[in-house]
Structure 1
Amino acid sequence: MSSRYAETYAAWQADPQGFWGKAAEQIDWFTPATSVFNPDIGVYGCWFDGATCNTCYNCLDRHVEAGHGERLALIHDSPVTDTVVRFTFAEATARVSALAHVLRGLGVEKGDRVIIYMPMVPEAVFGMLACARLGAIHSVVFGGFAANELATRIEDAAPKVILSASCGIEPGRVIAYKPLLDEAIETAAQKPDTCLILQRDALTCDLIDGRDVDYADIVGSALAAGQGTECVPVAATDPAYILYTSGTTGQPKGVVRDTGGHIVALKWSMAHHYGLKPGEVFWAASDVGWVVGHSYICYGPLLHGCATVIYEGKPVGTPDAGAFWRVIQDHKVAALFTAPTAFRAIRKADPTGKLIDDYDLSYFRTLFLAGERSDPATIQWAQEKLDRPVIDHWWQTETGWAMSGNPVGLGAFPIKLGSPGKPMPGYNIHVLDDAGNPVPPGTLGNIVCKLPLPPSGFPTLWNAPERFLKSYMEDFPGYYATSDAGIIDEDGYIFIMARTDDIINVAGHRLSTGAMEEVIASHPEIAECAVVGKADALKGQMPLGFYVTNDGVARNATELEKELVQLVRAKIGAVAAFKTALPVLRLPKTRSGKVLRGTMQKIADGEHYKMPAAIDDPAILTEITDALKMRNLIG
């Protein structure tokens, strides 16, 4: 199939309003928009001004009304509890409507906030959809976040109700949520009226009289009695949710997603970017607490009439590196979307990919990667072992869907290793120097997007309009500053090389840590790596590498370090000044798989650092510190 990308992108450029107006025909509106785009509302304008709609109706009810109520909607696959539960669109609609009825009875109305602090269970998605049904604004907080981090989000969002669970379950450990929730509420000045608690068999909790309500009891009673709610019309410009993302000051930023643009963009992306048809199974192996979980576990697949997988497990360890292949086989997954980190973990544990042959992947067509930079070595490994297209793409919490990619639904164009493709319709992407001037193709600079952002782009930060301008709009007037650095080549392919904070200055040369990581990862014995800029009195900064070897590799660390140094010198040149590569057992990451390079850099420089809220295992930072001390590399 030849690619229709160029003509589709050109059609958007020629008539942006006509393009998105046509896409909006795939959504059921209560009242149509008076204007597809109104440039006079907000900082850069708004989409579908005057329209009213309901996200839950478009995700659930309309499929039932169209006669697809028995079509599969949600699959909860939980190897940590050894259970699989499936829900049709009709069953999901009944459960969501009953939960919405309960929330309304607890005082939740249109515009109220509800915090969802849940593990990867169906009730988390039901909670998101129930809020959407009522026109309430949900804010999902990653389950297991520390109490102080949850408290800051309660303080900012001021929720009327918090939906939570007694515990989360991970391989080898159970995380008690209720004590964290209780501490957070005690700390926050804003208090919820009610907490709706899902009791889990692995660890139940005590409920506080007058505040806590048992989820199963009250929602089960509503469901048994056939109680439910209508879908409340909301303005397309009304907030659908708040999703907090880490801020440089440590105070989280509440990214606001508006309703109408969000559902139009996600519906368009399911067919055109991911190439899915209604009735197929889509799996985003993420968490509902992250933007991927919002867009492509909960909303995108259901808007499109696909089944979505809610996976409560890991890529390795539940029980082994064949976990993903088992899920794809058992549920006939057509497309998987996950982070490159997951595939690095699978590759590390099963470098020859022998476990893949144990499973029937005949329904599986495409692997999509995003969330961290996809190094060519990981993509090549996945392409070779799976014998299927491996599509890298790039987007952010702030945009809600892909800024660049390779839209298989339009016919994929040739892949360039290391590039997350070309700009998607709606995104006019440029590379500028620090003064705001365009740079030539292939030149490293600041990646920005010319305003307005397309549908689903965030219109503001919750309760922080000035911070919205300062963080994203002031550095490059007329553009959204992505805080990513990279290049656009002569063919229009984008290469994301690092966060702008990760571009290091070695003796006046601006160097990309991402480029060095790409070279190190190409070594056949390396599973994953990270490069940070360590302070240096003579050159300003010097690159410092950390690496993890594949399982079963037993090499002299001094010899391997020499090979890696020579490899970087050969591929990038002496200008990289790369001289140090340390072996470590693990890299510190968030639970979504992002490597905590900034924290590693602060440890190396001997600076104070705050424990990252979403860190997967704090003990890894001690391991990094010990590795640096052994080489006298702190300070």
Structure 2
Amino acid sequence: MGTIRSFEDYQEQYKKSIEDPEAFWATIAGEFQWRKKWNKVLEWDFHKPEVKWFIGGKLNITENCIDRHLPQRAKQTAIIWEPNNPKDEALHITYQQLSEEVGKTANMLKAQGVKKGDRVCVYLPMIPQLAYTLLACARIGAVHSVVFAGFSAKSLIDRITDAGSTIVVTADGGFRGDKTINLKGIVDEALEKCPDVSRVIVYEHTKTKAPMKVGRDLWWHEEIKKVNAQCPAEEMDAEDLLFILYTSGSTGKPKGMVHTCGGYMVYTNYTFRTAFNYEEGQVYWCTADIGWITGHSYILYGPLSAGATTVMFEGVPSWPDWGRFWQAIERHKINIFYTAPTAIRSLEKAPISFVESHDLSSLKVLGTVGEPINEEAWNWYDKNIGKGKCPIIDTWWQTETGGFMISPIAHATKLKPAFATLPLPGVQPAVMNESGLEIKGNNIEGRLTIKFPWPSMARTIYGDHQRFKDTYFSTFPGKYFTGDGCKRDEDGYYRITGRVDDIIIVSGHNLGTAEIESAITEHKNVVETAVVGFPHDIKGQAVYAFVILHDKPGNDETLRGEIRETVSKIIGPIAKPDKIQFVSGLPKTRSGKIMRRILRKVAEGDTANLGDTSTLLDPAVVDEIKAGAL
């Protein structure tokens, strides 16, 4: 099943993909089940920007993820659901069972009036019904918009309103370690501001009390009994919307990234099989939540379209103890394990006995996702989890890209700790300087762009194509700007050096500084704030907030707690600042622009290298900030 077996094979495939991209992708797309073949492989113009793949092609992605596998693998496990509590039995869902559950869920949505093109907001924990709902939407041509079940009511309001969703699928609650989250209560709070939502389907999971609004709210278990499992797949155009997924924007308003059916299917399948060198029959576990792009592409669509066995995990790595991941690997004989550097750094700090007490010999390939992995964590992962025998696939990609872009290929690419290594076939990177010129050759550093389209790239920001153009295609006209800096070493290997825009990557998740600042200023005692990221041993980056107050409090810690709670309520716990420094002013230029460069240096503890502060409106502010640094 894997597509590249050696480095020479990679070089040959890469060369083909660059010299004739259309022929390269057409060959791969030809492996899938299409209702009607495309008329043309690609049309593109990065200046508009506009990209279309497999033009005129007709398909349904669920026929490729489920139906085409049934003749050979109806009894094979499609999804292993590992519940929050390890004492509970794991669920093994076969491809036949998946087909039936998706059919019933699709018919349940249709019975509530959901049709092709409608947007369905999905706010569910990591339970099988989350997978069923997404595939059911795709089955009937509805557009799913998943909101991570750790986000607040305010985040839910923004996403429901922007997408124009009129139906929400949720649960009474979700488990997270020893905590229960009242999801239905969060939905109810959000829907006070979303009058257009006419239906809420609620899955009973935690037995949390869930008041039901008559005429709007329905129990999943009651509605699913009313339908059968036969649901024909809607014929979709290759460029029809498959899903909208929101990612943090630097303006504070989340960006609804639009992904379409054909190219996304082809690319996620190809990159899953290629990067991990997936082999028939292997058991694969990505520990992400389906609320993020990683879960969409590499828990559901990529693995299922490849006929793999994919694991969904409801729990957390630290509960009931720090051996949870290793216990699950042993229990399910996992062959490919894909997780975040944040998780690895947390697990590294736990006693090694948690690892040593489990049999990890089934592992063949390891992977990392969400942020660049640091060398120390890479070496720990390699030695203790891979036992020096498993290649580590350090994948660089984004919500916007839909799939892996720069990544080693298991058993083919020579690895370097902390390097994403080389672009996958079909990916054409260009490193730019600040003047907008491409820097050629190796041993260079600059800003990472992509100069040619790939099938799974986002097509637009939902409802705001101008913002899509301004955000990704205006900094370097004619190229997609990733927002990341990078180094290219003497071997042509890429190392991602982090964001160069106003995005902080906390535990692998993008958070816009403007969004966090907006939340902090909701506190009645806050006048103004500026937020930056700073290095964190576990999370990679954490949030440092510089806050100007109306009144100096009697108790700083009480106020810090209130501010954190405000952020948690408006965005979600993931965005809470680790450090909050109260200041009388912020370093601003005479035109009023905050000099974040100075604040980043203070947050990083590098106050000796603040650079020139003479252009500031009030340079004395910097001395005060330095003196009060946390």
Structure 1 length-normalised TM: 0.80
Q: Which amino acid aligns with 2:200?
A: C
Change in CA separation of 1:90 and 1:167 when aligned onto 2, cut-off 3 Å: same
Asked if residue 494 in structure 1 is aligned to residue 450 in structure 2, the reply is: no
Asked if residue 246 in structure 1 is aligned to residue 251 in structure 2, the reply is: no
Following superposition, the deviation at residue 604 of structure 1 comes to 11
State how far apart, in whole Å, the 2-side matches of 1:167 and 1:59 are. 28
Q: In the alignment, which of 119, 136, 140 is matched to residue 134 of structure 1?
A: 140
Q: In the alignment, which of 291, 305, 314 is matched to residue 312 of structure 1?
A: 314
Partner-residue secondary structure (3-state), 1:417: coil
Partner of 2:374: 375
State how far apart, in whole Å, the 2-side matches of 1:196 and 1:90 are. 24
Q: In the alignment, which of 271, 274, 282 is matched to residue 273 of structure 2?
A: 271
Partner of 2:620: none
Asked if residue 86 in structure 1 is aligned to residue 92 in structure 2, the reply is: yes
Q: In the alignment, which of 533, 541, 552 is matched to residue 595 of structure 1?
A: 541
Partner of 2:567: 611
Identity %: 32
Partner-residue secondary structure (3-state), 1:444: strand
Q: Is the contact made by 1:165 and 1:178 (CA closer than 8 Å) also made in structure 2?
A: yes
Change in CA separation of 1:40 and 1:372 when aligned onto 2, cut-off 3 Å: closer
Partner of 2:484: 484
Q: Is the contact made by 2:79 and 2:310 (CA closer than 8 Å) also made in structure 1?
A: yes
Asked if residue 10 in structure 1 is aligned to residue 5 in structure 2, the reply is: no
1:614-629 paired onto structure 2 within 5 Å: 615-616=572-573, 621=578
Change in CA separation of 1:305 and 1:167 when aligned onto 2, cut-off 3 Å: same
1:216-231 paired onto structure 2 within 5 Å: 216-222=221-227, 226-231=228-233
State how far apart, in whole Å, the 2-side matches of 1:619 and 1:271 are. 37
Q: 1:487-534 CA deviation, whole Å, 9 max, x = no partner?
A: 11232111111100379xxxxxxxxx99xxxxxxxxxxxxxxxxx9xx
Change in CA separation of 1:459 and 1:143 when aligned onto 2, cut-off 3 Å: same
Q: Is the contact made by 2:36 and 2:57 (CA closer than 8 Å) also made in structure 1?
A: yes
Q: Is the contact made by 1:393 and 1:406 (CA closer than 8 Å) also made in structure 2?
A: yes
When the two chains are superposed, the root-mean-square deviation of aligned CA atoms in Å is 3.0
State how far apart, in whole Å, the 2-side matches of 1:280 and 1:485 are. 35
Partner-residue secondary structure (3-state), 1:320: coil
Following superposition, the deviation at residue 438 of structure 1 comes to 2.1
Partner of 1:185: 191
Q: In the alignment, which of 211, 215, 237 is matched to residue 210 of structure 1?
A: 215
Partner of 2:609: none
Q: Is the contact made by 2:106 and 2:139 (CA closer than 8 Å) also made in structure 1?
A: yes
State how far apart, in whole Å, the 2-side matches of 1:199 and 1:605 are. 44
Q: Is the contact made by 2:77 and 2:309 (CA closer than 8 Å) also made in structure 1?
A: yes
Higher RCO by CA contacts (8 Å cutoff, separation 6 or greater) = 2
State how far apart, in whole Å, the 2-side matches of 1:231 and 1:270 are. 24
Q: Which amino acid aligns with 2:66?
A: L
**Of 66-75 and 129-138, the range deviating more from structure 2:** 66-75
Change in CA separation of 1:384 and 1:158 when aligned onto 2, cut-off 3 Å: same
Structure 2 length-normalised TM: 0.81
Change in CA separation of 1:432 and 1:106 when aligned onto 2, cut-off 3 Å: same
Partner of 1:574: none
Partner of 1:420: 420
Change in CA separation of 1:321 and 1:159 when aligned onto 2, cut-off 3 Å: same
State how far apart, in whole Å, the 2-side matches of 1:80 and 1:604 are. 44
Change in CA separation of 1:630 and 1:284 when aligned onto 2, cut-off 3 Å: same
Following superposition, the deviation at residue 230 of structure 1 comes to 0.4
Q: 1:128-163 CA deviation, whole Å, 9 max, x = no partner?
A: 000000011000000131111100111011113211
Q: Is the contact made by 1:485 and 1:500 (CA closer than 8 Å) also made in structure 2?
A: yes
Q: 1:98-150 CA deviation, whole Å, 9 max, x = no partner?
A: 01011111111111110100111000010000000001100000013111110
Following superposition, the deviation at residue 174 of structure 1 comes to 1.0
1:68-217 paired onto structure 2 within 5 Å: 68-80=73-85, 82-83=87-88, 84-188=90-194, 191-217=196-222
Q: Which amino acid aligns with 1:428?
A: Q
Partner-residue secondary structure (3-state), 2:447: strand
Change in CA separation of 1:298 and 1:446 when aligned onto 2, cut-off 3 Å: same
State how far apart, in whole Å, the 2-side matches of 1:239 and 1:472 are. 20
Q: Which amino acid aligns with 2:567?
A: M
1:329-368 paired onto structure 2 within 5 Å: 329-350=330-351, 353-368=352-367
Partner of 1:633: 628
Q: Which amino acid aligns with 1:78?
A: P
Partner-residue secondary structure (3-state), 2:138: helix
Q: Which amino acid aligns with 1:439?
A: I
Q: Is the contact made by 2:125 and 2:171 (CA closer than 8 Å) also made in structure 1?
A: yes
Following superposition, the deviation at residue 544 of structure 1 comes to 9.7
State how far apart, in whole Å, the 2-side matches of 1:105 and 1:69 are. 27
Partner-residue secondary structure (3-state), 2:101: helix
Q: Which amino acid aligns with 1:595?
A: Q
Q: Which amino acid aligns with 2:75?
A: E
Q: Is the contact made by 1:164 and 1:196 (CA closer than 8 Å) also made in structure 2?
A: yes
Partner-residue secondary structure (3-state), 1:63: helix
Q: Which amino acid aligns with 1:389?
A: P
State how far apart, in whole Å, the 2-side matches of 1:486 and 1:442 are. 11
**Of 191-200 and 96-105, the range deviating more from structure 2:** 191-200
Q: Which amino acid aligns with 1:370?
A: V
Q: 1:368-406 CA deviation, whole Å, 9 max, x = no partner?
A: 001012001100111111222222110000011111001
Partner-residue secondary structure (3-state), 2:347: helix
1:497-508 paired onto structure 2 within 5 Å: 497-501=497-501
Following superposition, the deviation at residue 614 of structure 1 comes to 5.5
Change in CA separation of 1:280 and 1:604 when aligned onto 2, cut-off 3 Å: farther
Following superposition, the deviation at residue 413 of structure 1 comes to 1.7
State how far apart, in whole Å, the 2-side matches of 1:301 and 1:634 are. 47
State how far apart, in whole Å, the 2-side matches of 1:227 and 1:403 are. 37
- Size of the alignment, in residue pairs? 545
Change in CA separation of 1:468 and 1:348 when aligned onto 2, cut-off 3 Å: same
Following superposition, the deviation at residue 625 of structure 1 comes to 7.8
Q: 1:340-373 CA deviation, whole Å, 9 max, x = no partner?
A: 00100100113xx332232222321111001012
Q: 1:265-297 CA deviation, whole Å, 9 max, x = no partner?
A: 111122211111233211110001000010011
Q: Which amino acid aligns with 2:341?
A: P
